[in-house]
Structure 1
Amino acid sequence: MQKNMLSYLQNSALRFPLKTAIRDEDESVNFSELNSQAKAIAAHFQSLNITKNRPVGVLLPKSVKAIKCFLGTLYNGCFYVPLDVKNPASRLEAIIKNLNLEFIVTDAKHAQILKNSGVNLIIFDEINLKGEDKFDRANYENTIDTDPLYIINTSGSTGTPKGVAISHKSAINYIEWACETFSFKDDLKIASQAPFIFDNSVLDIYLTLKTGSTLFLIPQELFTFPIKVVEYLEKNEINFIFWVPSVMANIAALDLLRGVNLSLEFIIFAGEVMPVKTMNYFKSRFKNAVLANLYGPTETTVDCAYYVVDRDFSDEESLPIGYPCKNTDVFLLDENDALVTARNTLGELCVRGASLALGYYNDPVKTASAFTQNPLNPAYPERIYRTGDLAYYNERGELMYKGRKDFQIKHMGYRIELGEIETAALSLGGVDSACALYDGAIVLIYTSQTAASQREILLNLGKILPKYMLPTRFVMLDEMPLNVNGKIDRNKLKELIKDQK
């Protein structure tokens, strides 16, 4: 088994040296160039005495340049930290402090954000990309599979971002699982939606390097205009997408696939609950495509469970999250840490196996609270990750996501899952996106192209949900606020309903 992720790049550079590896709106690079320029970047790092096993920040727009820096960091035996150029300086400084970042690669424009941070800034345009001959292989050759590959920063409840550290081993296991499960070949044209600070991008990048396919980095501003995204897919003959459902829901709500000639063969989604109504829209238009629902927190290396759509679903149903990925065990524990095996019985979804993150970087206390000893195994040390998600097994034995433990409310004496209300709302004609919140009353926030009325929605929800679960307050928006990952921004919605009280 390979020691690190760069083996994928090296193999593709040998097999397809002149084939386009990555393309953005400004440049494209073939596999041979990508490999040699990554080594040149590593050589530049070595000239700055950046030693092995250190985090290196990359503060660049989503681009070919950023991926070159990720790979150059790995060639120097370090691990990379994607940073968002749209983040305020205060958040970037919190990440720098939390991870003890000493070096960040950026460009002249974005260097201004960090001019007072005290960190060492490496200006990308000052790197000699033809300096491969000065590259020393020693650091790279001493990298082993349990060394960190990258850190993704997720939100922390205290306001301090948590740096989730993922190893080469876990990412290799994930990519190998994906290729075995879906039988990917070297003819993929991958359209990347996820920002690099969101771990869905890991599949886009390393699937490209593993298979020798081509990665298209869609300009982020296009997602403001869904019709432009569809035109991009058609123009570039894209046959693979791995997107968050919110983006796909926008396309479905506007019926933008009518009359266009797309080449989609793989339609994979993750990051939030996929409304079956949206899935059915895509399924009806790409009858021969593979559709798959993937599930997993960042702490389990992108995804730890999956379901390949193999039957028809009505709009009112929920999609399974299915079964564990390779070398991973996904199981349910009740409030007493006993194993849940009965059908239709809720438990907290827990994960063990090769997919687990190394932990939260520089934070042993949070790591110990989330990555705990497996209570089912007292015989030897074995970590599990407690996701905080509630799930159950359906009658087919498939895992079904129910919602977050912290989205479970008690209202009128009943325990209610807000996710169940959202699923019901999304099944209704006229509701394009929905979010249920609780502030002493159940609030349904939704968007609707047809301007569906509160009365209309309430009447139809009453046919699906018990009376105690029905929202008592409705807020219709022109569009749903999304965070940088393309998911519904619940924090903004909470502020909205607080301001409207």
Structure 2
Amino acid sequence: MKYTILDYLEDTAAKFPQKTAFADVQNSVSWGEFVTRAKSLSAVISKYFEAGNAVPVMIDKSVRTLEYFFAALYSGCFYSYFDATFPDSRLNSMIETLGVKYIICDRRFVKKVATLNVTPLFFDELEKITEKEEYSDKRRKNIIDTDPVYANFTSGSTGTPKAVVVSHRSVIDFISCFTEIFGITSEDNIANQAPFDFDVSVKDIFSGVFTGATVHLVPKMFFSFPTKLLDYLEEREITTIIWAVSAMCILSTLNGFDYKVPSKLNKIMFSGEVMPCRQLEIWKRFIPNAKYVNLYGPTEITCNCTYYIIPDGALPDSIPIGIPFPNERIILLNEDNEPVTEKNVEGELCVSGTCVAIGYYNSPKTAEVFVQNPSQPFRYERIYRTGDLAKYGDDGLLYYVGRKDTQIKHMGHRIELGEIEGTVSKHEKITRCCCVFCDNKITAFYTGSETDKKEIVSMLRITLPSYMIPSDFIFIKEFPLTKNGKIDKKSLMESLNV
């Protein structure tokens, strides 16, 4: 019986010992080598970290980083990725939350780590010690499926980092379904775009672990040079991408496919934000035979809880988030905590099932959103309240509406900024739109071609009431992005106050 991530890893290594497991630009490692390396490194990690504790890793995204992640698991611990570009205050807050004394890091970050409240363990020194240490499976034998695999930090609405802790059981439950539904196999080459502290990377890493697919780590800089990115996808014979929407839009808005179309790409999945239909149409025009999937879900429910396979033909006006993954239950709750089952009625999207994370590490916030299902009074059913609003469409599918905390009150009306954004994006000269609400007025930022305000307003008046029409329309060449590839709305709002 396989009940930990390591069981799946070893099963894959036994089937494909010589096959490439992970590859970055400079290095690669086979599945057999990867297991050997992780076990060896775990012997050293066990000297510094007690079983069950977090192992923070501050190494640029590479094969080595992944070896330390799995070494942490073999030592009976869980891993947490630390980005060296983060401000000291944020990193120290993360250190305090996890209660760690040590951090595994690259010697390049010696100055950075000197400002942190933690003792560095430089990997070049650790790897010298491995020659004197022997791997013991004592800790590994004590791992159970409810133990954590990783802690990914998310700021949420508070601005204070919260560490979402996800168990072996949750990862196994989700990835088993994910790889089966979308037909990911050992024949696939997956191009990892997401940073390792963003849960989209979990789908890349563990889809490889579960199936034997090879995971290629795309350098971040390639997303600033579409020709380099497309050359990489073709050279590595990439078949599968699971990317943030903004990453996909980089290629389509900059006419990347006029240069080259990846010939092996056949599975294209996206998440994180609403995909603009015009951008998806470009992808479908150049790569018509691929399977396209819209994925939805927050970190707290292990990657995704719903999916929608885009059908052939014309796209709908609004792309649904679809149906729940197997073994996951979606519940929409209204403001009175009553289930919403009627079509086109909004409710907060809540999730129940094995997918629900353990909670936030060392945080009272856990009790606020990981709660008993208020519509189930007779037995214990733990749910996660996402804070997202959704509804059932006339087709019975789920549709994302927006965030509860981005639903604004303007001129006496409750308004979803996402509805305005979707309508503005339908203009033929506009590729993408993002609205912010500041100083009691709505401002629409957009990319594409600079367009006369009167022309945009005339189009909006056909479908939107006057109180939903933005006061200002600001053209920008490209949106500022967060490190996870989402539009940085905070930066947009700050630009209004310059």
Kept after mapping to 2: 8 A contact 1:165/1:359: yes
Moved more, 34-43 or 119-128: 119-128
Match of 2:330 in 1: 330
Match of 1:75 in 2: 74
Are residue 275 (structure 1) and residue 309 (structure 2) matched? no
In structure 2, what residue type is equivalent to 1:331? I
Kept after mapping to 1: 8 A contact 2:92/2:117: no
Are residue 244 (structure 1) and residue 244 (structure 2) matched? yes
Q: Specify the SS of the correspondent of 2:26.
A: coil
Kept after mapping to 2: 8 A contact 1:402/1:420: yes
In structure 1, what residue type is equivalent to 2:310? V
Q: Specify the SS of the correspondent of 2:268.
A: strand
Kept after mapping to 2: 8 A contact 1:332/1:347: yes
Structure 2 Cα separation of the partners of residues 429 and 65 of structure 1: 46
Match of 1:197 in 2: 197
Structure 2 Cα separation of the partners of residues 339 and 272 of structure 1: 25
Kept after mapping to 1: 8 A contact 2:249/2:279: yes
Match of 1:362 in 2: 362
Distance 1:456 1:250, change over 3 A: farther
Kept after mapping to 2: 8 A contact 1:242/1:267: yes
Following superposition, the deviation at residue 459 of structure 1 comes to 2.5
Match of 1:424 in 2: 423
Are residue 11 (structure 1) and residue 11 (structure 2) matched? yes
Following superposition, the deviation at residue 89 of structure 1 comes to 1.5
Kept after mapping to 2: 8 A contact 1:58/1:69: yes
Following superposition, the deviation at residue 304 of structure 1 comes to 0.7
**Structure 1: gaps (5+ residues):** none
Structure 1 Cα separation of the partners of residues 430 and 132 of structure 2: 55
Kept after mapping to 2: 8 A contact 1:8/1:206: no
Are residue 410 (structure 1) and residue 409 (structure 2) matched? yes
Structure 1 Cα separation of the partners of residues 56 and 497 of structure 2: 36
Alignment of 1:4-83 (within 5 A): 4-46=4-46, 48-83=47-82
Following superposition, the deviation at residue 411 of structure 1 comes to 1.6
Moved more, 377-386 or 54-63: 377-386
CA-to-aligned-CA distance 1:443-475 (integer Å, 9 cap, x gap): 001122x32332332222233322221111111
Following superposition, the deviation at residue 70 of structure 1 comes to 0.3
In structure 2, what residue type is equivalent to 1:349? L
Runs of 4 or more consecutive aligned structure 1 residues displaced over 4 Å after TM superposition: 129-133
Structure 2 Cα separation of the partners of residues 241 and 339 of structure 1: 35
Kept after mapping to 1: 8 A contact 2:433/2:444: yes
Following superposition, the deviation at residue 438 of structure 1 comes to 0.9
Structure 2 Cα separation of the partners of residues 201 and 52 of structure 1: 25
Match of 1:339 in 2: 339
Structure 1 Cα separation of the partners of residues 425 and 393 of structure 2: 21
Match of 1:94 in 2: 93
In structure 1, what residue type is equivalent to 2:202? V
Structure 2 Cα separation of the partners of residues 454 and 274 of structure 1: 24
Are residue 300 (structure 1) and residue 301 (structure 2) matched? yes
CA-to-aligned-CA distance 1:68-99 (integer Å, 9 cap, x gap): 11000000010001111211222111100112
Match of 1:217 in 2: 217
Following superposition, the deviation at residue 153 of structure 1 comes to 0.3
Following superposition, the deviation at residue 259 of structure 1 comes to 5.4
Kept after mapping to 1: 8 A contact 2:223/2:250: no
Kept after mapping to 2: 8 A contact 1:269/1:292: yes
Distance 1:478 1:259, change over 3 A: closer
Alignment of 1:103-122 (within 5 A): 103-122=102-121
Match of 1:310 in 2: 311
In structure 2, what residue type is equivalent to 1:438? F
Kept after mapping to 1: 8 A contact 2:278/2:431: no
Cα RMSD (Å): 1.6
Structure 2 Cα separation of the partners of residues 453 and 86 of structure 1: 39
Alignment of 1:348-497 (within 5 A): 348-363=348-363, 365-439=364-438, 440-448=440-448, 450-497=449-496
Kept after mapping to 1: 8 A contact 2:20/2:31: yes
Structure 1 Cα separation of the partners of residues 396 and 170 of structure 2: 26
Q: Specify the SS of the correspondent of 2:454.
A: helix
Following superposition, the deviation at residue 201 of structure 1 comes to 0.1
In structure 2, what residue type is equivalent to 1:386? R
In structure 2, what residue type is equivalent to 1:305? T
Alignment of 1:126-137 (within 5 A): 126-128=125-127, 131=131, 134-137=134-137
Structure 2 Cα separation of the partners of residues 313 and 390 of structure 1: 26
Following superposition, the deviation at residue 192 of structure 1 comes to 0.7
CA-to-aligned-CA distance 1:270-324 (integer Å, 9 cap, x gap): 1111111112221222222111001001101111111111254447x11110111
Following superposition, the deviation at residue 133 of structure 1 comes to 7.0
In structure 1, what residue type is equivalent to 2:11? N
Structure 1 Cα separation of the partners of residues 131 and 178 of structure 2: 34
In structure 1, what residue type is equivalent to 2:107? A
Following superposition, the deviation at residue 406 of structure 1 comes to 1.0
Match of 1:173 in 2: 173
**Structure 2: gaps (5+ residues):** none
Match of 1:85 in 2: 84
Structure 2 Cα separation of the partners of residues 474 and 427 of structure 1: 15
Structure 2 Cα separation of the partners of residues 257 and 35 of structure 1: 38
In structure 2, what residue type is equivalent to 1:56? V
Structure 2 Cα separation of the partners of residues 464 and 234 of structure 1: 42
Structure 2 Cα separation of the partners of residues 472 and 13 of structure 1: 58
CA-to-aligned-CA distance 1:414-438 (integer Å, 9 cap, x gap): 2110001111122222222221011
Following superposition, the deviation at residue 331 of structure 1 comes to 1.5
Structure 1 Cα separation of the partners of residues 289 and 400 of structure 2: 26
Moved more, 18-27 or 53-62: 18-27
Kept after mapping to 1: 8 A contact 2:261/2:287: no
Following superposition, the deviation at residue 367 of structure 1 comes to 0.5
In structure 2, what residue type is equivalent to 1:318? S
Following superposition, the deviation at residue 144 of structure 1 comes to 0.7
Kept after mapping to 1: 8 A contact 2:48/2:102: no
CA-to-aligned-CA distance 1:40-65 (integer Å, 9 cap, x gap): 1101112x242210001011111111
Structure 2 Cα separation of the partners of residues 157 and 406 of structure 1: 8
In structure 2, what residue type is equivalent to 1:292? V
Structure 2 Cα separation of the partners of residues 419 and 413 of structure 1: 18
Q: Specify the SS of the correspondent of 2:150.
A: strand
Structure 1 Cα separation of the partners of residues 452 and 482 of structure 2: 26
Structure 1 Cα separation of the partners of residues 454 and 238 of structure 2: 41
Distance 1:330 1:283, change over 3 A: same
In structure 1, what residue type is equivalent to 2:442? I
Structure 2 Cα separation of the partners of residues 455 and 132 of structure 1: 73
Kept after mapping to 2: 8 A contact 1:403/1:418: yes
Structure 1 Cα separation of the partners of residues 73 and 91 of structure 2: 22
In structure 2, what residue type is equivalent to 1:194? A
Q: Specify the SS of the correspondent of 1:127.
A: helix
